[in-house]
Structure 1
Amino acid sequence: MKNYPVWMKSALTFSAVWVLAACSSGPKPPDWQVEAKGSMERSVAAYMEGNSRVETAELRRARSQLSRTGRPDLLATAELLHCATRVASLVFEPCAGFESLRLDANRAQQAYADYLRGQGQLQDVGLLPEAQRATAAGDATALKGIADPLSQLVAAGVLLQTGKASPPVIAQAIDTASSQGWRRPLLAWLGVQAQRAEQGGDTEEAARLRRRIAIAQGTAASAKAPAKDEK
């Protein structure tokens, strides 16, 4: 089986991920691993692209496959990845799926769940994915050093939750979402930037951002070709 994409590995570097991402040189992995991995990849991609219907269906399949193992740590990893996509898209809500598994989750998973809610503790920074440790410790300038797109957006989302998202952080998040073609987080971050421009009295910049939002939404006015004369 192929390894998880970089963004998925760096988002959740827990032992469960390595169980799911079986080494290609080993024996053929069981069907549940293949199905769960593929469904989680498709679920994440669909959510970031703004396709809620596909995201929900694929997440349901992944949960079903992982539940077959009876292992809460594997299911907890999937739930955390699901919630990480929300933080990247500025949807700040309790990670309900993980919380139902918290008692049986490992310490690293619990620390990551707290981090996603903007409630991470300094003593737990070492338990977080390596890509996000510097920003979790308060170094917002480290955001640019996060090579993985999803991890970078998650870190930016946490910075916004905790009131540490400077204009460069927001601009970086927009650039990252745009370069990946991830409509959902792009719209969310553009909305934040537009709101700040409006609050600062920069109406011209706010208008420019609203036009960009309309393009991303697919609602920008398009020039209509003149109708042909009827004979």
Structure 2
Amino acid sequence: MKILFSSLSLLLATVLTGCSSTPAPPAWQSSASSSLQSFSSAYLSGNTRVADLEFARARTELAATGRADLVAQAELIRCAARVASLEIGPCTGFQAIADDVGPAERTYAAYIAGRWQDVDPALLPAHHRAVVNGPGAGKTILGDIEDPFSRLVAAGALLQYGRLTPADMEIATETASSQGWRRPLLAWLGVQAQRAQQAGALDAYARIQRRIELVSGKPK
């Protein structure tokens, strides 16, 4: 089973495929996986209606197991997608069941929210652990993250923590562009446009605005 996200969703995929030997796994496993993949594709492309429907299906399947850890991981996948798209806000779906999950899930939730004072790096996936631990001094580590989605999540976490560099911003923007992910691309282009305007870089601002118009299909 292949899931788009290689960070937290890899944990979910491991659980879902853990009983892949005979007899055949229950139908909820493949159904939840398929719905999460459909959710991710729809959300990142900007199709909110389809994304909401697919996530609701996945959550219903997972909730039927009575396992808070599975539901929590799905909720964190949804919140991570929002962070990657700079839709910053509380992860309410996860918060509702946070008392019933382990420290790894709570650590990941704190990480993507930029609350790194509450983060134990040892509990994070390796690529996110490296983001928390270094390199600082205006350098970037985003380019070393192989998975595009994880790269965008890390960029969103860095922005909230206040450690995002101009190079990070460029990496995030071009990552969304290369994947054809309209929602995060528009968000990161918006940040770039704001920074260019504040710096008085009018030519750069105009160029970015033209790119935003091209992606959105809405001339300003």
- TM bracket (short chain): over 0.9
**Can you list the C-alpha shifts for 1:1-54, whole angstroms capped at 9, x where unaligned?**
x2434xx2324443x431113476654221100110000111011110000000
What is residue 125 of structure 1 aligned with on the other side? 121
Question: Which residue in the other structure is 1:225 paired with?
Answer: none
SS of equivalent to 1:69: coil
Q: 1:210 to 1:203 in 2, by over 3 A?
A: same
- CA RMSD after TM alignment: 1.7
| 1:13-24 matches, cutoff 5 A | 13-14=10-11, 16-22=12-18
1:36 touches 1:65 (CA, 8 Å); kept in 2? yes
Q: Which residue, 81, 87, 96 being the options, matches 1:85? A: 81
Within the candidate set 9, 29, 34, 2:6 is matched to 9
8 Å CA contact retained: 1:4, 1:21: no
Identical pairs, percent: 48
Gaps of 5+ in 1: 222-231
Alignment of 1:61-140 (within 5 A): 61-121=57-117, 124-139=120-135
Q: Report the Cα offset of residue 123 of structure 1.
A: 5.8
**SS at structure 2 position matched to 1:147:** coil
**Contact 2:35/2:57 (CA < 8 Å) preserved in 1?**
yes
| Residues 131 and 146 in structure 1, CA contact (< 8 A), matched pair in contact too | yes
CA contact (8 A) 1:120 1:136 kept: yes
Looking at structure 2, the residues matched to 127 and 38 of structure 1 have their Cα atoms a distance apart, in angstroms, of 27
> Quick one: distance in 2 between partners of 1:123 and 1:43?
27
Contact 1:197 1:203 in 2 (8 A): yes
TM-score normalised over the length of structure 1? 0.89
TM-score by length of 2: 0.93
Larger Rg: 1
Letter in 2 for 1:29: P
Other-structure match for 1:208: 207
1:176 to 1:23, Cα distance in 2 relative to 1, 3 A: farther
Question: 1:178 and 1:3 mapped to 2: Cα distance?
Answer: 22
Cα displacement (A) at 1:77: 0.4
Q: Which runs of 5+ in 2 are unaligned?
A: none
Distance 1:12 1:137 in 2: 22
Alpha-carbon distance in structure 2 between the residues aligned to 1:120 and 1:21: 31
